[in-house]
């Protein structure tokens, strides 16, 4: 449980590179911004009648239109949680507060050098009466002045997490590997055409082996996912994403290919 709590922030920040040197000051400034919009994620039936509200997410944008903050409240029955995320002007995450049931919370915060590169991060966790801290180290290598690889390492008690991201000549991430205690738990391959992301293939082996293939549109937004189990040659689930003319996500459809059933979800602006 403890080691899992900081794998997610490590994976999210594998390609983040810029940000503020003063997180407290940046947070105070962002807190003064008004809420720009709220989006509710709802499950609907085939007639578009709302069955359940799954989450409500609030957003703040700066004067240049950059996302600086979002707060997601998950409302699933039996498991409610809130997640506050703060972003730099480049829309890179630099601070995150997660609050979960049973008095569990975690704070993730990055440290940056004068060039804006993340050099380290800290996860502070409160689990009931127990609290502890996990330190995360970022190491870069360069080729012809551009990032070639990024290594991320974290240690908590006897557990270790090691992540590697390999970049192409345009600093696009091409291969990602995540290891726990020297065992590979996931790897991702990114495919590009004309410097635009076309698809990703992600392999997971922490519990049950699985694979997800995601394809993207011209704006590099996900349009379809295919989910595979390790022993299956054909996908057992597909997820499709639908956008409006302004490339704002409107709805998703999950298809269970084994039972030929579907779940429909809509994103409603409040």
Model pLDDT, residue 231: 65
| CA nearest to 246, candidates 18, 13, 37 | 37
Q: Which residues contact 15 (CB under 8 A, 6 or more apart)?
A: 150, 165, 173
Between 59 and 76, name the one with better pLDDT: 59
237-243 vs 146-156, strand pairing mode: unpaired
For residue 71, what are its two tokens?
């707060």
Q: What is the dihedral of CA 150, 62, 80, 107, to 10 degrees?
A: 50
* Phi, psi angles (nearest 5°) of residue 164: -130, 135
The residue count for the chain? 270
- pLDDT for 12 beyond 50: no
180, HSE (Cβ side, Cα atoms, 13 Å): 19
| pLDDT tens per residue across span 68-124 | 999 999 997 767 899 999 999 889 899 999 998 778 899 999 988 887 788 899 999
pLDDT band at 209 (very low <50, low <70, confident <90, very high): confident
Tracing tokens 């000051």 back to the chain, one arrives at: 25
CA–CA separation, 32 vs 15, rounded Å? 28
- pLDDT for 47 beyond 80: yes
Q: What is the pLDDT of the chain when averaged over all its residues?
A: 88
- pLDDT for 195 beyond 50: yes
CA–CA separation, 152 vs 165, rounded Å? 9
- pLDDT for 16 beyond 50: no
Burial tier of 138 (Cβ tally within 10 Å: 0-12, 13-18, 19+)? buried
């Amino acid at each position: 449980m403890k080691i899992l709590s900081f794998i997610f922030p490590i994976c999210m920040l594998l390609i983040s590179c810029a940000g503020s040197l003063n997180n407290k000051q940046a947070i105070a400034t962002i807190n003064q911004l008004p809420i720009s919009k709220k989006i509710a994620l709802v499950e609907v039936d085939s007639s578009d009648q709302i069955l359940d509200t799954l989450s409500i997410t609030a957003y703040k944008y700066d004067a240049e239109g950059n996302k600086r903050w979002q707060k997601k409240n998950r409302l699933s029955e039996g498991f409610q949680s809130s997640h506050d995320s703060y972003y730099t002007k480049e829309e890179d995450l630099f601070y995150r507060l997660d609050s979960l049931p049973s008095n569990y919370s975690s704070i993730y915060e990055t440290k940056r050098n004068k060039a804006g590169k993340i050099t380290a991060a800290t996860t502070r966790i409160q689990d009931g009466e127990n609290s502890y801290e996990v330190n995360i180290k970022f190491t870069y290598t360069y080729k012809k002045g551009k990032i070639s690889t990024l290594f991320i390492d974290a240690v908590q008690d006897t557990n270790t997490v090691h992540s590697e991201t390999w970049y192409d000549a345009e600093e696009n991430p091409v291969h990602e590997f995540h290891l726990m205690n020297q065992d590979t738990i996931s790897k991702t391959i990114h495919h590009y055409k004309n410097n635009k992301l076309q698809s990703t293939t992600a392999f997971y082996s922490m519990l049950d082996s699985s694979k997800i293939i995601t394809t993207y549109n011209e704006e590099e937004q996900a349009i379809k996912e295919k989910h595979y189990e390790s022993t299956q040659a054909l996908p057992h689930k597909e997820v499709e994403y639908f956008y409006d003319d302004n490339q704002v996500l409107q709805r998703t459809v999950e298809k269970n290919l084994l039972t030929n059933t579907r779940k429909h979800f809509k994103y409603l602006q409040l």
